[in-house]
């Protein structure tokens, strides 16, 4: 049986159209886009096309697109860049974010604290939705930046970005959103979103790893965090990744063109998977199911079974997905997202995330649904015997 890949929130295969678009920029049009000769001009044309395509797909302007090495760098540029810009204007550095962000945001918020600034972490409810009352309170302190992820990568909860955008705009506080898991799965209109900064990543939408972007509405809001030549308006210096920009542009065009059909298909597959899993494992617990959730992520906990063992057995059965825990200092810790949502520790340790993508088929879903009940039974037996039950 062919292996089944249900880990698209971790990474996606590069789409053939993207490979075709970017290849010439590796070995034919390989000049430095800052060079004024024909080699440079040709490379510049590809880079600018990538910018236009990314901008169009997101409802932004081409000169608002700052390419980065990925989502992590875009998030760091947003938080640290905003903090540094505040400091250079003689203001306090104070970033506000949520307890369920990707580590790229949480670690960047920690770095702001290390620089002498402040970070406020907003809580979430049991569904993973940000506590808007807490946001209201902290906005009165006029922080430097608020950063709220559009779609959570572990449980798929979608935040009420329009409301958050309006709250931040009313308070005159810039809003950043990590839209890495939202791009290509939800319509995004940057201009209307209330966001001043938005992060995306190529490898979640069929472009290669190592390319992403921060969309910047107002360049005064962010200072550079790396220093060099004046490329990309001086906000992100360094010789531009032309092939990466072309790839992200192409993937963005495809994402925008296919959005409606893709989302409908993913939702149907996700619903099918969930129905089959519920039928096969009766006490399965679904995370973040009450509110709006992304079409490609399904996070479940299986009482009495540990996710490490489940993942291993699923892998042996040819099924690739991921867990909801992290191994830190040798001990398995439940994910910070599930902890913030108030999920009980033992349940959080039994979490499996399935994430769907372009090549996912009904046959894949059937294969998982067929394999999981037997795997759960084996892992539960193993867990019980290890615990001396
Ligand atoms: C929500 C979110 N933000 C940021 C990142 C980091 O993106 P990258 O892998 O491009 O650095 C990821 C990747 O998993 C993500 O899911």
User: Nearest-5° angle of CA 95, CA 62, CA 89?
Assistant: 35
Atom of ligand 1 nearest to the CA of 70: 10
Closest CA relative to residue 9, chosen from 126, 184, 161, 147: 184
177 Cβ below 6 A of ligand 1: no
**CB burial of residue 109 (10 Å; 0-12, 13-18, 19+):** buried
Does one domain contain both 129 and 217? Answer: yes
> How many CA atoms lie within 13 Å of 65's alpha carbon, on the beta-carbon side?
30
Domain end point (choices 236, 255, 274): 255
Does one domain contain both 267 and 341? Answer: yes
323 Cβ below 6 A of ligand 1: no
Which CATH number do you get for residue 120? 3.40.640.10
The values of phi and psi at residue 228, to 5°, are: 180, -140
76, 153, 199, 248: which to mutate for ligand 1, most atoms within 8 A of CB?
153
Does one domain contain both 209 and 348? Answer: no
| Cα(181) to centroid(ligand 1), Å | 8
Does one domain contain both 147 and 277? Answer: no
Active-site option among 195, 282, 321, 327: 327
| Cα(207) to centroid(ligand 1), Å | 13
Count of structural domains, the chain = 2
- Distance CA(70)–CA(157), nearest Å, equals 22
Domain end point (choices 220, 238, 255): 255
Please name the residue whose Cα sits nearest to atom 7 of ligand 1.
71
- Distance CA(128)–CA(348), nearest Å, equals 14
Atom of ligand 1 nearest to the CA of 149: 1
Does one domain contain both 304 and 366? Answer: yes
- Asked if residues 377 and 15 have their Cβ atoms less than 8 Å apart, the reply is no
Asked about 327 being catalytic, the answer comes back as: yes
322 Cβ below 6 A of ligand 1: no
Closest CA relative to residue 207, chosen from 244, 257, 258: 244
Domain end point (choices 255, 278, 304): 255
- Distance CA(203)–CA(69), nearest Å, equals 11
- Distance CA(296)–CA(282), nearest Å, equals 22
70 Cβ below 6 A of ligand 1: yes
28: number of Cβ within 10 Å: 9
The values of phi and psi at residue 304, to 5°, are: 80, 10
Does one domain contain both 69 and 142? Answer: yes
Collapsing DSSP states into helix, strand and coil, what is residue 134?
helix
The values of phi and psi at residue 82, to 5°, are: -70, -40
Does one domain contain both 150 and 84? Answer: yes
Q: Locate tokens 């449980």: which residue? A: 155
Does one domain contain both 205 and 340? Answer: no
233: number of Cβ within 10 Å: 12
The values of phi and psi at residue 19, to 5°, are: -60, -45
| Cα(75) to centroid(ligand 1), Å | 9
Does one domain contain both 147 and 123? Answer: yes
Q: What is the pLDDT along the chain (389 residues), one digit of tens a residue?
A: 789 999 999 999 999 999 999 999 999 999 999 999 999 999 999 999 999 999 999 999 999 999 999 999 999 999 999 999 999 999 999 999 999 999 999 999 999 999 999 999 999 999 999 999 999 999 999 999 999 999 999 999 999 999 999 999 999 999 999 999 999 999 999 999 999 999 999 999 999 999 999 999 999 999 999 999 999 999 999 999 999 999 999 999 999 999 999 999 999 999 999 999 999 998 999 999 998 999 999 999 999 999 999 999 999 999 999 996 555 555 678 999 999 999 999 999 999 999 999 999 999 999 999 999 999 999 999 888 877 76
| Cα(204) to centroid(ligand 1), Å | 8
Give the DSSP H/E element, type plus range, for residue 84. helix 71-88
Does one domain contain both 170 and 231? Answer: yes
| Cα(211) to centroid(ligand 1), Å | 11
Does one domain contain both 165 and 266? Answer: no
Atom of ligand 1 nearest to the CA of 202: 10
Closest CA relative to residue 184, chosen from 104, 91, 252, 106: 252
pLDDT score recorded for residue 244: 98
Which CATH number do you get for residue 382? 3.90.1150.10
Which structural domain, as residue segments, surrounds residue 291?
A: 4-10+259-386
Does one domain contain both 207 and 66? Answer: yes
DSSP class of residue 202 equals G
């Amino acid at each position: 049986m062919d292996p089944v890949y249900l880990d698209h929130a971790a990474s996606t295969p590069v789409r053939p159209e993207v490979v075709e678009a970017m290849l010439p920029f590796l070995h034919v049009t390989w000049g430095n886009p800052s060079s004024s000769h024909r080699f440079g001009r040709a490379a510049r044309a590809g880079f600018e096309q990538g910018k236009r395509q990314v901008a169009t797909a997101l409802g932004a302007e081409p000169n608002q697109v700052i390419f980065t090495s990925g989502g992590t760098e875009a998030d760091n540029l947003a938080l640290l860049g905003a903090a540094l810009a505040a400091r250079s204007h003689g203001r306090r550095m104070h970033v506000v974010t949520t307890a369920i962000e990707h580590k790229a945001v949480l670690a960047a918020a920690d770095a702001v604290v290390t620089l002498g600034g402040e970070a406020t972490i907003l809580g979430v409810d049991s569904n993973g939705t940000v506590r808007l009352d807490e946001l209201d309170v902290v906005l009165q302190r006029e922080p430097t930046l608020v950063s709220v992820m559009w779609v959570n990568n572990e449980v798929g909860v979608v935040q009420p970005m329009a409301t958050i955008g309006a709250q931040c705009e009313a308070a005159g506080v810039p809003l950043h959103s990590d839209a890495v898991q939202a791009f290509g799965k939800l319509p995004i209109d940057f201009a209307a979103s209330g966001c001043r900064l938005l992060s995306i990543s190529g490898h979640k939408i069929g472009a290669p790893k190592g390319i992403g972007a921060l969309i910047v509405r107002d360049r005064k809001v962010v200072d550079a965090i790396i220093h060099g030549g004046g490329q990309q308006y001086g906000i992100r210096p360094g010789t531009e990744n032309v092939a990466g920009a072309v790839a992200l542009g192409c993937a963005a065009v495809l994402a925008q063109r296919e959005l409606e059909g893709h989302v409908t298909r993913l939702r149907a597959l996700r619903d099918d998977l969930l129905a089959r899993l519920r039928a096969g494992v009766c006490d399965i617990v679904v995370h973040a199911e009450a509110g709006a959730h992304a079409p490609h992520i399904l996070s479940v906990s299986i009482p009495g079974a540990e996710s490490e063992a489940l993942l291993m057995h699923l892998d042996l059965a040819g099924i690739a997905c991921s867990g909801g825990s992290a191994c830190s200092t040798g001990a398995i810790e439940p994910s910070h997202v599930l902890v913030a949502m108030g999920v009980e520790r033992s349940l959080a340790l039994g979490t499996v995330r399935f994430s769907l993508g372009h090549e996912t088929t009904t046959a894949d879903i059937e294969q998982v649904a067929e394999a999981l009940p037997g795997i759960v039974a084996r892992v539960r037996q193993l867990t019980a015997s290890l615990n001396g039950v």
